[in-house]
Structures are given as C-alpha cells and as structure tokens.
Chain A
Amino acid sequence: MKFIIFITLLFPCIQALAYPNFIGKGYHACLTCHYNPFGNGPLNDYGRAVGASAIADRLFVSKDTTDEELGDSSGFLFSKPNQSWFRPSLDYRGMQLDRQIDQDEPIRKFIHMQMDATITLKFGKSDKYIATFTHGVIPDNSVKVSRRGNKELQFSKEHYIGFRPIQELGIYLGKMDKVFGIRVPDHNSFGKLYGNLHQYSASTGVLLHWGKEKFDWGIQAYDGKGHVEKIESEQTKGYTTKFEYSVHKEVRVGVSILTEEDPNQNQKDMKAITAKFKVGNGSSLMAEFGEIINTTKTNLETTSNYMFMQNHLNLTRGLFFMTTIEYFQPNTSNQFEFYSIAPGVQYFPWQRVELRAEVQNVRTFNDDKNTPITNDMWNFIGQVHLWF
C-alpha cells in the first residue's frame, strides 16, 4: 500500500495500467502504465511495478516477500534500475491454436506471435522526452504464406520520439500503432483484422495527444508505405482520431474515426463507438461497435459491421474468467454474418507471465438458400505472454 502511494506521488499526473480491462481496477487512461498515451508497447516503471505488486498473483512467492519488494524487482531482468533514463525490455507472445477441436483430426499449430526487443530512453521530469525502439522477429513457421511466403520476418515494430511540453499534451513522431477503438491484444478480432488495425499495422506519422483526468483525445496522420511487414493493401496512409471520456468513475465511453487509402487508391473509412465499464472490484466489461466502409478505386462500396465485446470477471488476484463475444457482417448488402463466443481464463501467475486459454465457438448465419449451414466451429486458443 505504501509503495502504491509512493509511486502515485512520484508520478502525480498519470492514472492507469496495461490492458484496457484494468478499468476494473480503476485505471482509465493508458499513459499511466505505458509510454504510448494510447497503450500497447513497453510498460513504464509504474506499469511494471503495479503489474508486479497488484495485478499478478503471488504463486510460489514466499509470504515474507512483500508487494513492495516485488515492485522493486519489476525492472528489466528482475532488477531495479539504477539510472532513470534507459529502459530495455523483451516481450514474447506465443499461441497454441487448435482448430476444429470437435473433429477427429483437429488442425493444431503453435504460432510465435511476438518476439520483441525494446529500448526506451527517457529524460526530463515525468518522462518529458521519450524515444522508444522495438525490433520484432516472427519466425518463418509463424508468418502467413500470403504475407512473406513463409520467410522469417524481421521488422521495426515501432520507433518514435515523444515530447510532452506540459503534462496534458504530448507530440509523438515516428512509427506507432494507429489510434482507433479499444486497444486490446486480440489482433485477430474481426474489427482489427478487417480494419487494418492488427499487429502489422503500425505506421509512420505524427500523433498529438491531449489528456486530462477525465478524457483522452488523439489525432494521428500516418503513412505505412514501404513497410516490409505489410502486404500492399496494408501500406495505407490516412488520418485517425479517437476521443475517450469518463462519464462516471466506472464508465468510460469513446468514439473513433479513421480514413485511409492504400497505394491502389482503395479507400477505407471506419468509425466506432466504445464503452468500458468497471464492474465491482477488478472486473470489467468492454464493448466496441464499428462500421468499416471499403471503397475501391472504381467506386464499389462495401460496408461491414462489427461488434467486439470482452468481459473480465476477476476471480482472485491475477485470475480472470473472460468471455470474448464478436459479431461480424462482412457486407451489409447480404445476410452473411459471423458470431463468435470464446469463454476462457486469463491468469497472471507471477509478474512477467500471462497465460490465457479460451474455447472459441464460431457460428455463421447465411440467408442464401443455396448455401448449406455449416457446423459450429470449435477452436482452442492457448496463449503465453512473457515480458522481461
């Protein structure tokens, strides 16, 4: 407790933590725990300390070890940083994906989704100046054929410099994730996948952030041209903006608008409304409703709708029962629709370790009489996430 108060005093103007579902712990803004004001990327000292001392379970941690001590050892490779300007970190995320587990021969695959090495430099009072560089590697067996022809992928995941002349205002230049919707790590969700907001979508540009206790607003101009990790249709340039406002200490709502164009002059316009709710002590509910309009160079327009909802029920320290519910209609002019529901558990047994296991049910609705109904698809998704 003393440690939390100490940290809060040390960083008086920041309030939140890692995943957006931590609104359940009372954290509304991303900047509290991340260098990026809209989340994702490396955690700052506070984020690491809170993750260690308040979020993760204490499995196999001796009773004599206090939460303060856990917070102290939350730095790179279990250390306490002895200087204030240099913060290295490593991130790994792997996924066991078993498709059609109800069939006799399920399709099983282990995918290395993320292998990142990051260096962050920070200077000035309350990290006034920051520079962060993340290099990502995806082994050949984990890259889709359509993306790199099964070749190992090495790329700069993000690199940017940031300047906050005053605590409420920040200007960021470089390669960053696009500011849109709720930034969850589920990059394969319909909205992220079809909205070009997945793990390869970070683009080079400029981001302006204005945030106070009650709100966060960001506007970003970007260009993804020439990025080695992107296929051609993903190398888009455009603008995006997002505004989030805490209408209540337990409710934060938001709106996002994006417009972009790929090198072949195909245009994508997106808008979404979001809501995040704190439920009791540690639980949360998040929802995003969005529309994606794709317009080809020849003016053919396709409108898609999606819904993403994720609920976290905090069972005990570090352990959550979660349910991810998705809806996707790829083209509103026909009645082809997907429903997906994935109940599962998320567990942080120790600091630096996250485990996640879900069973996903995917159901399709199709009003076309000539298309038969397909059996529900059942998948197992197991994830391990490590950060050092």
Chain B
Amino acid sequence: MSDRISVAKTYKLYIGGVFPRSESGRVYPVTDPQGKFLANAAHASRKDVRDAVVAARKAFPGWSGATAYNRGQVLYRVAEMLEGRREQFVSEVAASEGLAPSRAESLVDAAIDRWVWYAGWTDKIASVLGAANPVAGPYFSFTVPEPTGVVGVLAPQESSLLGLVSVLAPVLAGGSTAVVVSSAERPLPAITLSEVLATSDLPGGVANVLTGRAAELGPWLASHGDVNALDPTGATPEDRITLAREAAGTVKRVLTVPDAEPDWTPTPDLSRLRRYLEAKTVWHPLGV
C-alpha cells in the first residue's frame, strides 16, 4: 500500500462544454456490483435536461454546418483521447460492470474502434445515402442526408462504455447534437468519456451527458418541443411505450430497439446513422 493518498475525482454533469453539478444539488452513490462505494454521481434533474437541450440546440448550427471532413477529424481526435485514457477506462469499466480486467480491456478496445468506425463515416455517408435523382423532366434533382437535429439518448444500462459509444457516436457522426442520460448504476465511464469529449475539440454543447435515472429524465426528453429524435435504449420496455406516446406529441423520430440490451460487440450496420438523418431533395430547372 502506497503512503500517498490518491486524489479522488468528483463526477459531475457535462452540459454545454462545462462540468456543472446538478442544479438540484442531488447526488447518488455509485457502487460496484459487489456494493463497494466508487463515487458520488450527480443526480440530474428536469432542469438539467432542459439546460442540456438548450446547449445542444445552440450547438446544432455549428456542428451540422461544419464540413464532414472537420467532423471526421474531431471525432477521430476523440478516439485518440480515448486511447490515451485506455487504462483509466479499463479500470472504470471493470469496476462498474464487475468484469475481469482482460474482458474490460477488450470492451474498451472495441469502444475505441467503434468510435473510429463512425468517425470515418462523416464524409462518406452522403455519397452512400444521397443521390442524383434521374427525374423525368428538365431539372437537376439531388438528395442529400442532413442531420435531424437534437437527439435525446437514453444510454444502455448495462454496457457502460461500449454501449454508450455505440449509441452516441452515430448521432454525432451524422451531424446531430445529443443529450445523453447515462446508465444509472454505471455512470462513471460516461463522465470520463465527457472529459475526453471536452478535450477533443468537440464544440461545447454538441454532446451533453447527464448522470441520473432514465425513468425520471426520459419523459422530459420525450415531450420536449426542441428535441427531434429519441433513442429509448436505456428505458425499460414498459417505459419505452410511454416515452414513444409522449414523443408523438411533437412527431419525434423514436428508435425501435430490442427489448433486451443487445450484444454491442459486433460491428454495426448503417441503421443507427440513418435514423438521425433526414433526406433533403433539391430541384432546379435546366435551361439556358
């Protein structure tokens, strides 16, 4: 045992590029699966959700208007920062999920590789999903995918880092901005990921991370008039029905997700990227 007393970290929220405590002042203890105390996490409130949505909306024009190349570089930078903090993530994932270090290592590696995979999509997705439309008339018509806006994400409850990355990266890669509610019982890797995001040239507000309860915060995201899409992965199957009904009030895009949390390790397809993209078709006449 070292003589030195280590410096413990205070885990806070990540809103608009800064790390505030919950405006409610609430915290809750986070433990490992054996019940050993790890840290106190901020217990986000409805007001924190609203602040995060404001931050995400404010960041949307800049992020969606950035070049795809620029977004790709910023996201790749996130992967670099993840790699640099690999050991920290391994120990947090191992502690949070109660895993052997070797298993935690492979999940962290998969999360970093997942991030790189999505980073590479930013400047390709438009050529894969877009089109020049061969219309029957003297017009040039083309279709491009555009980001859908502000996305509320209820992150997976079990997979604290790989699951989180798998649901957040496609939002950002497509040019949307995110308000994420982390796993309630395993929130620590989400806050450490926020620290990575904050030091990766990702503009403040593009990703906002709240620690707290999906059951409490999900309904505020689902009914919020300035949220365009909702990923209810972290909610219970029963709660997802309520959330989807709430979301209908503003015609939100609501992801259909499997009842049980999936295995996040296989390489994904394009479906999550597609969910956060809107096809825009532009027409102009031809003529002299």
Pairing of A with B: no
Which positions in B face A, CB cutoff 8 Å?
Answer: none
